[in-house]
Structure 1
Amino acid sequence: MTFVTKLTLQSGDRAVLDRVVDEIAEFVERKGAEMKGPHPSPPETLRVPQHKRTTGGDSFGSWSYTVYTRTIEIVGHDSVARQVMDRERPAGVHLGVEVERVRQVGSS
């Protein structure tokens, strides 16, 4: 049975995110693991209203920021996936992990 580890990396700084993703891709390639991606998602712009008082009423303009997302899948090679997850990342880069068990065709 094979495991697929899906890594979702997000950051508000696209240059830092791309640098981290490139470092992961180089590491996975050096280890000889199979990797799919990185798959970029469209940037998401988030807006947060800012009020002058906690009771509402007057407000400042909304604060907005953009979140960039990249998705990488590591097929098999569980130890390589664990090493990638344990690596240091800049504070502004968030890592989400999903693990999926994939059955081979014809197996029960």
Structure 2
Amino acid sequence: MAEELQTATDKLEDEHYPAYTMGRAAEMLGTTPGFLRSLDEVKLLVPQRSRGGHRRYSRYQLRLATRVRALVDEGTGLEAACRIVILEDQLEEARRINAEHSSHQPER
């Protein structure tokens, strides 16, 4: 039982765990399921599928979708907004890796 509880806790803390249905994700973002499907079509988000074939989104994916929606609301085209978000995400990851790598370097 403790093992099951730990697994549930891990899932709740895992930003990549696909916890949200399309309807719930759209509600949380204040958008439509169609908007989320469009992000799937342009391959920004590739949601996992439930056993029944329903899309499931993670918190990480919802953060990306939120940023795309903000850019689209400002007048940026969908594909350009997706590209911007991808580049921002890659830059953030590169900075994180660089900071991690730098912290392990011995001082000279």
Higher relative contact order (CA 8 A, sep 6+): 1
Give the TM-score of the pair, scaled to structure 1: 0.27
Q: Please, what TM-score do these two structures have when normalized by structure 2?
A: 0.27
Higher Cα radius of gyration: 1
Q: Greater strand share, 1 or 2?
A: 1
Higher helix share: 2
